[in-house]
Structure 1
Amino acid sequence: MPIFCLYCDKQVTHHKIVYALRNGVDDYACCPLRDIDLIPRLRRLLPIDNEALALSYQLEEESGQFRHDSLVGTSACFLQKVNQIPKLAHSDATLLITGETGTGKELFAQAIHYHSHRKSKPFIPVNCSALPDQLFENELFGHESGAYTHANTAQTGLVAEAEGGTLFLDEIDSLTPSAQAKLLRFLQNGEFRPLGSPKSHKADIRIIAATNADLRERVGIKQFREDLYYRLNVLALIVPPLRNRREDIPLLVMHLLKRFERGISKSRVQCSNASMEKLIRYHWPGNVRELEGVIHRTVTFATSPCLEPEDFELPVQEERSGQGEGMRSAKFQVVGNFERTYLIDLLARSQGNVSQAAKTAGKERRTFQRLMQKHGLNGNNFRPSQ
């Protein structure tokens, strides 16, 4: 039976946590608790049959339900955005989510929906770039039978489908001027009229829009309506790119490895330290979505349970002018964090025995001690309490 430790003491120390983990505790959490922190931990610990768990994930994905463990990361810039979810969910105001392609804008939109009072109602995602201009009004508001040639039956629009819930308009920047005008009219009065209908209907939905473009810039060059921009940008959320939260890459990799090894019925797969360093160094222009694809592809074709750098096929990375120093600085910071975590793990397993930890790491004791000093670690803090 898994053991979960809950710390209610605000002064809980790193030593106490390490001692608990070394003595049989499987995971822990500190108060105050949020479901977005607790649910993933409990889910990992509960003794669920792998086949049933894989099926539950599949059903959740097919039904469009949000998985609380989908937002993975502990970096300050990422947690700052995650911590805004409850506040953004409490409001019904329109929200504009901005971020590069693949950063997880739809995941944030889902999280906000499923933390709101609308969570029992539909979350309807719409890719605006896939809506032809001449069909925009029809898709959004629907039509009555006989509204136009070949309209033999009535069709419910996406706004009506989302009644009581959330309509997520992705790639909002791709709307044509005509479509922008129709959306603005709907946002102004909250009413819509299906094509061919003499009656207007009041909609009870929340609008969340997303874009990877700078809409302010689009407004400045007359490619996006200024009045629509202000209607959408009542609340705003900017999702950081993966290169700005490189310390989250090891967590994301472990999360994705577990997901994909389960999906293809493989035994536990791990990354070597060299592989992890390679993934941390890469700049990820496609962000988390690109990382997800790389991990999925690598796990699928893996011939060994330990993934080495040559197993990961990444595009050749060019040094971009003006960003070299920033990239190097980010690399040193993330590698340093990873190195510190590795040292803590070795010291915890050796119960503070520096010689044993150094031997496990394949380093001389003096070299290992220098690394400990570099990261402010003391072997005495890892020894059992008397």
Structure 2
Amino acid sequence: MRWLEPNRGGATAMSALFQYQLLGSSPAFRKVRLQIERIAGIDATVLIEGETGTGKEMAARAIHYLGQRKDCPFVPINCGALTEHLIESELFGHERGAFTDAKTMSGGLIQAAHGGTLFLDEIDSLGHKAQAALLRFLQDGMYRRVGSGKIQQANVRVLVASNANLLQLAEDKKFRKDLYFRISVLSLRMPSLRERTGDAVELAEIFVSRFARHYGRDKAKLAPESVAYINSHEWPGNVRELENAVHRAFLLSDSPRIVLPDVAETAEADSPRAVQGFRAAKVEAVRQFERSYVLQIMNETGGNITKAARLANQDPSAFGKLVRKYRSDLQA
């Protein structure tokens, strides 16, 4: 769910950071925001690292819209959602007839991002052939469409992201070291929620307010016991996990008090069976909806996660995790 659309007409630094949910008052996150503002003004390749759910794409968008390319396209691509034989075609485009399914010519994402920013998420999932092709492009901005002998040139700023330790992968010869040095001209590390003291509760309250406006439940408020739970939980999925947990608790709540499910199960252990049964039924209903929706949309797109995520208006990485959750049903 996208709460705020980018202001492409000269947003201030603070408004751009707000638009991409880069919110938090902890010293660790204030430092990151300052780094983003500084990096945005330097037109160079940036490597954004951090655990899953720390906001790497949001940081990339903020860097783009705070920079001099803000009026040109921001084009994201999830490398992990593409097969090895498709990545070069997606990036560089292809000529008609270049391969079996190439029924028309495609300019590719680099052409689409001309003048703007190309964001490559999960870059560690690229195979060695695709890494070599990307390295050649980064060296001089020159590339060829698949099936073409004509050299193209593009003026594109490249931002990349990974939740893996790319330097270690390079040392282990699982990622090209020369490509690592090329993409890490500038680097930014997004801190985990565990490192952002106090930010989890601040973000949870913001999420509740936004859900309340979206669903028309103005009196909704985070319950005190939920605050204690949020402060004590590790949040391995970071901000994405926190937002999903709050969203789920909001939808399952029968009162203005928003109680995260884990807390609700503990607090209501002595409640009548009818209440527990009702809550369990709602949880099961949500699970059945997810399963049915994933099966339907994956069937409609022939199993293409990128297309399915686009139709569902979801981030490909997050949608991919949902697909993996119901993988056994898809293979049945």
Indicate if the aligned counterparts of 2:121 and 2:160 stay in contact, CA closer than 8 A. Answer: yes
* 2:160 maps to 1:160: no
Residue 83 of structure 1 corresponds to: 34
Between 1:258-267 and 1:162-171, the stretch displaced more is 258-267
CA drift at 1:235? 0.1
Residue 111 of structure 1 corresponds to: 62
CA drift at 1:310? 5.8
In structure 2, stretches of 5+ residues that fail to align are: 1-10, 267-332
Indicate if the aligned counterparts of 1:143 and 1:196 stay in contact, CA closer than 8 A. Answer: yes
Residue 147 of structure 2 corresponds to: 196
Deviations along 1:270-300, one digit per CA (max 9) or x if unpaired, are: 1232220111110000000000000100111
For residues 69 and 160 of structure 1, what CA distance do their matches in structure 2 show?
25
Residue 8 of structure 2 corresponds to: none
Residue 276 of structure 1 corresponds to: 227
Q: Pick from 81, 84, 92: which aligns with 1:133?
A: 84
* 2:244 maps to 1:267: no
For residues 212 and 52 of structure 2, what CA distance do their matches in structure 1 show?
25
For residues 81 and 314 of structure 1, what CA distance do their matches in structure 2 show?
36
CA drift at 1:172? 0.6
Question: Structure 1 residues 269, 201: CA separation in 2 closer, same or farther (over 3 Å shift)?
Answer: same
Indicate if the aligned counterparts of 1:261 and 1:267 stay in contact, CA closer than 8 A. Answer: yes
Runs of 4+ in 1 over 3 A off after TM superposition: 34-37, 308-315
Indicate if the aligned counterparts of 1:294 and 1:313 stay in contact, CA closer than 8 A. Answer: no
For residues 150 and 303 of structure 1, what CA distance do their matches in structure 2 show?
50
* 2:173 maps to 1:222: yes
CA drift at 1:86? 2.1
Indicate if the aligned counterparts of 1:258 and 1:268 stay in contact, CA closer than 8 A. Answer: no
Structure-to-structure mapping, 1:307-326, within 5 angstroms: 307-308=258-259, 312=263
CA drift at 1:308? 4.0
Deviations along 1:208-233, one digit per CA (max 9) or x if unpaired, are: 00000011110111101100000001
Between 1:95-104 and 1:121-130, the stretch displaced more is 121-130
Between 1:151-160 and 1:162-171, the stretch displaced more is 151-160
CA drift at 1:204? 0.6
Between 1:227-236 and 1:175-184, the stretch displaced more is 175-184
Residue 35 of structure 1 aligns to which amino acid in structure 2? T
Q: Pick from 112, 130, 148: which aligns with 1:179?
A: 130
Indicate if the aligned counterparts of 1:294 and 1:312 stay in contact, CA closer than 8 A. Answer: no
TM-score normalised by L of structure 2 = 0.73
| 3-state secondary structure, aligned to 1:154 | coil
Residue 381 of structure 1 corresponds to: none
Q: CA RMSD in A?
A: 2.1
Indicate if the aligned counterparts of 1:123 and 1:166 stay in contact, CA closer than 8 A. Answer: yes
* Greater relative CO (CA pairs within 8 A, separation 6+): 2
For residues 156 and 209 of structure 1, what CA distance do their matches in structure 2 show?
21
Question: Structure 1 residues 264, 226: CA separation in 2 closer, same or farther (over 3 Å shift)?
Answer: same
Q: Which structure has the larger Rg?
A: 1
**Number of residue pairs aligned between Structure 1 and Structure 2:** 256
Residue 192 of structure 2 corresponds to: 241
Question: Structure 1 residues 192, 269: CA separation in 2 closer, same or farther (over 3 Å shift)?
Answer: same
Q: Pick from 12, 25, 34: which aligns with 1:35?
A: 12
| 3-state secondary structure, aligned to 1:240 | coil
CA drift at 1:145? 2.1
Question: Structure 1 residues 36, 74: CA separation in 2 closer, same or farther (over 3 Å shift)?
Answer: farther
* 2:243 maps to 1:288: no
Residue 145 of structure 1 corresponds to: 96
CA drift at 1:68? 2.2
Indicate if the aligned counterparts of 1:36 and 1:68 stay in contact, CA closer than 8 A. Answer: no
In structure 1, stretches of 5+ residues that fail to align are: 1-33, 41-65, 316-386
Residue 116 of structure 1 aligns to which amino acid in structure 2? G
| 3-state secondary structure, aligned to 1:126 | strand
Indicate if the aligned counterparts of 2:92 and 2:111 stay in contact, CA closer than 8 A. Answer: yes
For residues 104 and 27 of structure 2, what CA distance do their matches in structure 1 show?
52
Residue 138 of structure 2 aligns to which amino acid in structure 1? L
Deviations along 1:40-87, one digit per CA (max 9) or x if unpaired, are: 9xxxxxxxxxxxxxxxxxxxxxxxxx8626111011111101011221
CA drift at 1:36? 4.2
| 3-state secondary structure, aligned to 2:63 | helix
* 2:281 maps to 1:304: no
Residue 79 of structure 1 aligns to which amino acid in structure 2? R
For residues 314 and 288 of structure 1, what CA distance do their matches in structure 2 show?
23
| 3-state secondary structure, aligned to 1:93 | coil
Between 1:195-204 and 1:161-170, the stretch displaced more is 195-204
Question: Structure 1 residues 198, 70: CA separation in 2 closer, same or farther (over 3 Å shift)?
Answer: same
| 3-state secondary structure, aligned to 2:51 | coil
Residue 224 of structure 2 aligns to which amino acid in structure 1? N
For residues 69 and 234 of structure 1, what CA distance do their matches in structure 2 show?
24
Indicate if the aligned counterparts of 1:109 and 1:208 stay in contact, CA closer than 8 A. Answer: yes
Question: Structure 1 residues 142, 90: CA separation in 2 closer, same or farther (over 3 Å shift)?
Answer: same
Deviations along 1:155-207, one digit per CA (max 9) or x if unpaired, are: 12010011111110000111111111111111112111112223211111100
